[in-house]
Amino acid sequence: VTAGRNQRSRKMEVFELIEGHYLVGNQGIYKVQEFLGQGSFGKVAKCTKLGSPECYAIKIMKSSWAGEREFKMMKLIKDLDPDENHLIKMFEWFPFQNMTCIVYELLDVNLHDSLMNEMQMVHLCWIRVIAQHLLKALKALKSIGVAHCDIKLDNIMFAELDSVNVKLIDFGLAVETKKLSTEIEIQVTPFRAPEVILGLPLDESVDMWALGVVLASVYFGNYPFPSETEYETIRAMVLCTPEEYTETTGEQVEIKNHVINLDAMIHEHRDMFNDHDDDDHRAFIDLLKNMLEVNPKNRITPRQALEHDFITMKHLAGKSKAAYAGKAGEVMGKTPPSEGAQSSVSLCRSQVRINAEGSV
């Protein structure tokens, strides 16, 4: 008993890395500069490689099984262009003492922290960019038969400071679509697809649902469905208007806390920006409805979503509101920035808010 206790104690001591410690990898030696975060899996450290000015994010996991599983998933997607498809880039994997380390590119800040820090409303033009980038990621994953299974605000990161480029991270729960099973626990409650809650057959469309929740959360400032329990969540999904919800359950729905009627919410955003465009907001809501389709068989696919009017901006062509259409094109990189105008990048990273009563 004593020997076992001492062995466990030694393992815990080994894992207690501190700033300044070194990790010996296959492609070099990494020095821990600071810790960026931690969770049940372990820690993420910002590291430099000896002899190189580059910085990396190293995910240091206590479980060798979890580490090897994530590495295998990353190997499956290694042939996908990580920059073109907005996926985090992996450099190497190595065991270190009793830990498993995966070396990733260093990104800036996740969408959740950006929302919490900036306290501003996100303009629809920049939501379009985020949507397009992540739809490209889902399209790429679908092409190789992989489902991410954990899309949420925390797992979407801006590539660098003052950048509108986002990438999908954390493939710890990713799985080959053909191996998706109701016995596997996937997705956190606010982003959990109805078929996951109901224990129905699953495919990669669970990711499309989760992305729909992400975009709705960024747009509205709170989650689109109640998330205290799975039962409340599924009722809100099926009973899509406040009137239907109240008639069936006898409970009043507070729209300010939980968005159920997507159409009604357009009007709440009408006065948020001087250049509000009703047609653009309607196009966005239409895309959301297709992403948040309860029946996964009818849910929009990544390819279809990338061809949706909200992404292609076909509905803005020839509009009399040329200034709005020009701004939308500029943000999407389809037109050069106007001389003397505030850059799209700085606007994007400063126009984000969090609802004081909700929790994104």
Residues near 16 by Cβ (< 8 Å), separated by ≥ 6? none
Degrees, nearest 5: CA angle 96-76-52: 45
Q: Which amino acid is at 347?
A: L
Q: Give CA–CA dist 153/114, Å, rounded.
A: 9
Is residue 59 within 8 A of residue 102, CB to CB? The reply is yes
Q: Which amino acid is at 250?
A: G
32 backbone dihedrals φ, ψ, rounded to 5°? -75, 120
Residues near 360 by Cβ (< 8 Å), separated by ≥ 6? 112, 115, 116, 153, 217, 218, 221, 222, 223, 354
Beta bridge partners of 94: 101
Pairs from 25-31 (Cβ < 8 Å, separation ≥ 24) = 25/92, 25/94, 25/96, 25/101, 25/103, 26/92, 26/94, 27/91, 27/92, 27/103, 28/52, 30/56, 30/58, 30/103
Q: Quick one: DSSP state of residue 159?
A: S
Catalytically annotated residues: 150
At how many degrees (to 10) do helices 124-143 and 205-220 cross?
Answer: 170
- Based on its alpha-carbon atoms, the radius of gyration of the chain, rounded to whole angstroms, reads 22
Q: Give CA–CA dist 314/328, Å, rounded.
A: 11
Provide the phi-psi class of 82: left if phi over 0, else alpha when psi is between -120 and 50, else beta.
alpha
For 29, how many CA atoms within 13 A lie in the half-sphere containing its CB? 5
What are the structure tokens assigned to 297, written together?
């068989």
The verdict on whether residue 327 carries a ligand-binding annotation is: no
Q: Quick one: DSSP state of residue 224?
A: S
| Bind-site residues | 59
| Bind-site residues for ATP | 59
